[in-house]
Amino acid sequence: MDNQRLLVWALFLMLAWVTWQQWTEDYAPRPAPQPTEVDDPLAEPPDLPEIGSTDIDAPDVMPSVEGQVEAPAPASAPTIRVTTDVFEIDISLEGGTLQGATLLSYPVAKDRPDDLVALLDTDPNRLGLMQTGLRIAGEGAEPNHRAMFTSSRTSYDLASGDEIVVPLTWTDGAGVTVEKRYTFTRGSYAVKVEQTVTNNSDSPWRGAEYAQLQRRSYPVERSMFDVESYSFDGPIIYDGDKSEKLDRDDLIDDGAHTLSTDDGWFGSIQHHFVSAVVPEPGTMQRYSVSVRGNVATASSIGPAVEVAPGASKTFTTTLFVGPKLQEQLEDIDEELKLTVDYGWLHPLSAILFWLLAKSYALVGNWGVAIIMVTILIKLVFYKLTESSGRSMAKMRNLQPRLKALQDRYKDDRQALSQAMMDLYKREKVNPAAGCLPILIQMPFFLAFYWVLLESVEMRQAPFALWITDLSARDPFFILPLIMGGAMFLQQKLNPQIGDPVQMRVMQIMPIIFTAFFAFFPSGLVLYWVTNTVLSIAQQWKINKVVEAEAKAQKGGKKARKNKGE
């Protein structure tokens, strides 16, 4: 099989692989729901299950959900507005639920700077609630997420400070008091939640902490014209060893996903953003994730703890609601960065992102950082691609002789193949070597794809001129056209051999790639353009060197022949 056939198959394999990843990964899109009918999940508190005396059952907090309402009833309890330098949070006095979170530095679209991303909301169409509380063993009032708390203030503002502490208080009227404190820190999307039980009654208090996350959940609707619709949108859970994205349909068909671990967390991810709950490490938690109607519910509950009369106990949980900033995620839990969905190429993608971040720290432009990393990758594989390039150049020089063989054996394909292989062997040319660079580039291409698609650091990041968002497609399709032209020029530097069908396929490849890349993130197209231009420069240089060597060798043979005569 000659080089052209291998090259064609390599290109088609890459296209097929990308297409397969996009259409078979069970990813849900960012929803754009149409209102229908539903019960308001905050309207009526459900009946909590009966609790045994030796163990705590995870609270079943969701009432019946059958759809969505056109105008959901607002939450009845008063709220506290907390404003920091990164977000605005609404905390309900009913259970201390985080029921509103608006990200101040992240507009929904670059051309709508005042329309900010909201990750938490009571509107069923955009539902997002983060709930914490305590369950008790036995009868009596409990400070769960339906209990009414009190607060001395209705708003807090970080202003010039570095930290805000928001305290809420609950009492059962019999001597047990719970203070729930929320700690917000400058520059951070993490919220530390501490629940301190003070037992001033005459009998022991026995209970367990729990946390719960409710998020809207919708069926999958993808569009090849919107690459971000292929980002996973839904619940994710970490069991101490690996993370798992939980598919909506599987949860509906198979029921709740449950596990127990002392080093886990759970959350809900969407394109570029995450809401996550991280219980205190080292405490055994039971986790459950389920879908009911259009709401996904994930919860954790710890072991029952006894607080003696006159004693107190503090339970700590960390919440995160914001962009997938990997440094902040790692500060909370090393594995929380797995919410950045790089797919099965995560190790390679993580390395590429690290290189990009370091390059960005030097130049302050993500587009320039992409170019720098592309050059670095090219340098790492320079020797390997140089060897391949030399084979391609030699193949180019053999074209007249190969054409003569094709004319001689035009009616005998078997004899033609044998004659070509004999020629390759005599000239020490590997016809398959030209495919090696493409095969090497495929995993880097796919890894770069997920880095550019999933890394919020590059969301709406400008490059230059008309490229104002490297994570979105080129609005004028100029980069894809440049890429197609560069690929066409690259073809001209490579040997044009093979049967007419193969040659025609190769000729339309730049057109196919241009159409395919037109809707990819412009950062990815920038990577491919840079890589192609570097490959052209390298191959042009190699062609000149090989031609010079061939001329020198031919001149030497002629000189030796003349001398022998």
pLDDT at 59 over 50: no
Mean pLDDT, the chain, integer = 79
Two structure tokens written together for 530: 């840079």
Q: What is the pLDDT of residue 32?
A: 38
Burial of 111 (0-12, 13-18, 19+ CB in 10 A): exposed
pLDDT in tens, 305-359: 999 999 999 999 999 999 999 999 999 999 999 999 887 788 888 899 999 999 9
Contacts of residue 115, defined as CB under 8 A and 6 or more positions apart, other chains included, come to: 107, 108, 109
Q: Are 316 and 193 in contact (CB under 8 A)?
A: yes
Helix (DSSP H) and strand (DSSP E) numbers for the chain: 12, 19
- 42-341: CATH topology: Beta-galactosidase; Chain A, domain 5 (2.70.98)
Q: What is the pLDDT of residue 16?
A: 54
Select the more confidently predicted residue: 513 or 349: 349
Contacts of residue 125, defined as CB under 8 A and 6 or more positions apart, other chains included, come to: 33, 35, 68, 216
Percent of the chain past pLDDT 90, that is, above it, reads 41
Is residue 373 helix, strand or coil? helix
Four-residue CA torsion sign, 363, 367, 372, 377: positive
Please calculate the CA angle 256-262-267 and round it to the nearest 5 degrees. 50
Q: What is the pLDDT of residue 408?
A: 78
Of 128-132, 230-234, 364-368, which gets the smallest average pLDDT? 230-234
Of 131-135, 265-269, 368-372, 481-485, which gets the smallest average pLDDT? 481-485
pLDDT at 556 over 70: no
Domain ranges of the chain: 42-341, 355-556
pLDDT at 219 over 60: yes
Of 56-70, 197-211, 397-411, which gets the smallest average pLDDT? 56-70
Percent of the chain past pLDDT 70, that is, above it, reads 74
pLDDT in tens, 365-404: 999 999 999 899 888 877 777 666 666 666 666 667 777 7
Query: If residue 224 lies in a helix (H) or strand (E), which one and from where to where?
Result: none
Q: Are 43 and 73 in contact (CB under 8 A)?
A: yes
Q: What is the pLDDT of residue 517?
A: 83
pLDDT at 102 over 80: yes
Q: What is the pLDDT of residue 501?
A: 58
Q: What is the pLDDT of residue 407?
A: 74
DSSP state string for 342-363: -GGGHHHHHHHHHHHHHHHHHH
pLDDT in tens, 424-448: 777 666 665 556 666 776 787 788 8
Contacts of residue 505, defined as CB under 8 A and 6 or more positions apart, other chains included, come to: 8
Select the more confidently predicted residue: 272 or 6: 272
Residues of 291-318 as b/e, b for ≥16 C-beta within 10 angstroms?
bbbbbbbbbbbbebbebeeeeebebbbb
pLDDT at 71 over 70: no
Read off the pLDDT of each residue in 499-514 and give the average, rounded to a whole number.
71
Q: Within 10 A of 46 (CB to CB), how many other CB atoms are there? A: 13
Contacts of residue 235, defined as CB under 8 A and 6 or more positions apart, other chains included, come to: 213, 215, 245, 246, 251, 266, 267, 268, 289, 296, 298
Select the more confidently predicted residue: 56 or 162: 162
Residue position matching structure tokens 């241009």: 514
Of 43-52, 96-105, 317-326, 489-498, which gets the smallest average pLDDT? 43-52
- Strand 79-83 and strand 155-157: the pairing is parallel
Two structure tokens written together for 358: 């370091």
Q: What is the pLDDT of residue 195?
A: 97
Q: Are 27 and 220 in contact (CB under 8 A)?
A: yes
Two structure tokens written together for 99: 């029921």
Read off the pLDDT of each residue in 169-198 and give the average, rounded to a whole number.
95
Select the more confidently predicted residue: 434 or 255: 255
pLDDT at 497 over 70: no
318 strand-pairing partners: 192, 278
Two structure tokens written together for 503: 């040659």
pLDDT at 279 over 60: yes
> pLDDT-derived band of residue 224, with 50, 70 and 90 as boundaries?
low
Is residue 189 helix, strand or coil? coil
Is residue 404 helix, strand or coil? helix
pLDDT in tens, 528-549: 899 888 888 877 877 676 667 6
Q: Are 287 and 299 in contact (CB under 8 A)?
A: yes
C-alpha 437/C-alpha 424 separation (Å) is 20
pLDDT at 130 over 90: yes
Query: If residue 557 lies in a helix (H) or strand (E), which one and from where to where?
Result: helix 522-564
